A and B are shown apart, each in its own frame.
Chain A
Amino acid sequence: MKNWYKILAVVLLAYVMIWGFLGPIPRQPVLHETARNLYFHVPMWFGMLAVLSVSVWNSVQYLRTSDMLHDTKSAEYANTGILFGIVGIATGSIWARYTWGAWWTNDVKLNGAAIGLLIYFAYVILRGSFNDEQQRARISSIYNIFAVALLIPLLIILPRMTDSLHPGNGGNPGFKPMDTEHTMRVVFYPACIGWICLGFWITNLRLRLKNLEQIHQENN
């Protein structure tokens, strides 16, 4: 059963789509029904962090072994991470419009997310500016590791040092205290796992496509 995570993704996300929109949620002022975005917006960031960690791990492995497979993997996982990041920012922006009244606010967490995306866009452009495969692999791996090591203080340390509108930091609690009946928790945790599995599935498809393209090129 090597496809277990694909089945898991389909089952869990179908459950999230249906029960996430139909199921009961705690009544909250300001948030109201937008609280259901919790099942989509927050898991995007978990998914992004998951695939990006795999990308960095593959970069480290590439520098250790010089195996081109690791470089391809690291690039494709980074691409999926960018996709999740864009969807995360889009869902967050819509949510912010309905709860805070603005599409974008000057908030450490939002800025951290935007800067993280900028770093990975730069990574893609860096990859595009090499013709030599080996060199592209080595140098983009180096940048990947270097950038992530500087992104970590930005995402973890800085938000804790200032106040923030965003739930989950600056004395602003996450969803847990409101969810006394555990009605959201039963959807939220499966949603996280489901979206992460979907991220791996997307990357897997991209990797297989890349592989086929390569075989096709070699035969011509």
Chain B
Amino acid sequence: MLREIKALIDKEIRLELRQKYALNGMILYIVSTVYVCYLSFRLKSNEIDKITWNTLFWIILLFTAMNAIAKSFTQERFGRLLYYYTLASPVGIILSKIVYNMLLMLVLALIGFGVYAIVMGNPVEDIGLYLLSIFLGAVGFSSTLTMVAGIASKAENSSTLMAILSFPIIIPMLVMLLKISKNALDGLDRASSLDEILTLLAIDAIVLVLSVILFPYLWRS
């Protein structure tokens, strides 16, 4: 089982590296979004509210995640998907996709954070906790959005569906993430974010378990 997941993740990474334009496209997407925001606010660094700074960053991440993960079931041809399904178990496929998207999101989020901090200024006082919130965000976004991408890919006009299906269910996660990252921004004592971190981990766990239970049904159609 573990070996199967590892092989599938390997395949995803190799596929991604082989078509570099997709990965580069996503990196360019997040960088140019950050730049659009920067120009729209017409800032010199540190002239933006901390709350706005934080919210803007998470909204950029959310949209990047949507775009990056939406293609996880559509980029491969139908016949090839069918071929994987005969080789691997559905649980292996969904877990490998989630782990792969998590890695992808981590890379994108860290690059995004770097660029964002350079152009918009970096008011974060507790970088460690902020990076932890980015990590938790990558885990949460990738697990939720991977499942939703699977659902949306079965329907027509899947890009609209991807947005309307995922926005309402990702809100609890986003609210928790905003709280943690706000605490990190203000440099509050780490113990005060413990509640939020635990809730977030619980939501992540629910999503993972549900994905594992429900994906086999999705895969059959």
Contact = CB atoms under 8 A, between A and B. Distances in A.
A168 to B, nearest CB: 19
Interface stretch (A19-27, A42-50, A128-136, A172-180): A128-136
Interface in B145-182: 147-148, 151, 154-157, 161, 164-165, 167-169, 171-172, 175
A158 B214 contact: no
B205 to A, nearest CB: 11
Chain A at the B interface: SS class: helix
Contact of A161 (B155, B164, B165, B195): B195
Interface residues of A, number: 29
A116 B168 CA distance: 8
A150 interface: yes
Chain B at the A interface: SS class: helix
A126 B214 contact: no
Nearest to A157: B199
Contacts of A116: 168
B81 to A, nearest CB: 15
Given A150-B203, A158-B175, A129 B210 contact: no
Contacts of A129: 155-157, 161
Contact of B169 (A125, A146, A158): A146
B18 to A, nearest CB: 30
Given A119-B168, A153-B172, A126 B155 contact: yes
A158 B172 contact: yes
A139 B172 contact: no
A138 B217 contact: yes
B163 to A, nearest CB: 9
Interface string A127-166: 0011000110011011101110111011001100100000
B144 A126 contact: no
A130 B199 contact: no
Contacts of B168: 115-116, 118-119, 122, 147
A140 B171 CA distance: 20
A21 to B, nearest CB: 36
Interface in B130-154: 144, 147-148, 151, 154
29 contacts: A63-B214, A115-B168, A116-B168, A122-B161, A122-B164, A126-B155, A126-B161, A130-B154, A135-B154, A138-B218, A138-B220, A139-B151, A139-B154, A139-B155, A139-B218, A143-B165, A145-B210, A145-B214, A147-B165, A149-B210, A150-B169, A150-B203, A150-B206, A151-B169, A153-B199, A153-B203, A153-B206, A154-B172, A161-B199
Given A122-B164, A146-B214, A151-B169, 16 more contacts: A63-B214, A115-B168, A118-B164, A119-B169, A121-B164, A122-B161, A122-B165, A122-B168, A125-B161, A126-B155, A130-B156, A146-B147, A146-B210, A147-B165, A150-B172, A153-B203
Interface of A: 63, 115-116, 118-119, 121-122, 125-126, 129-130, 134-135, 138-139, 141-143, 145-147, 149-151, 153-154, 157-158, 161
Q: What 7 A-B pairs come out closest when comparing CB atoms?
A: A118-B168, A154-B172, A129-B155, A150-B169, A119-B168, A122-B164, A142-B214
Interface of B: 144, 147-148, 151, 154-157, 161, 164-165, 167-169, 171-172, 175, 195, 199, 202-203, 206-207, 210, 214, 217-218, 220-221
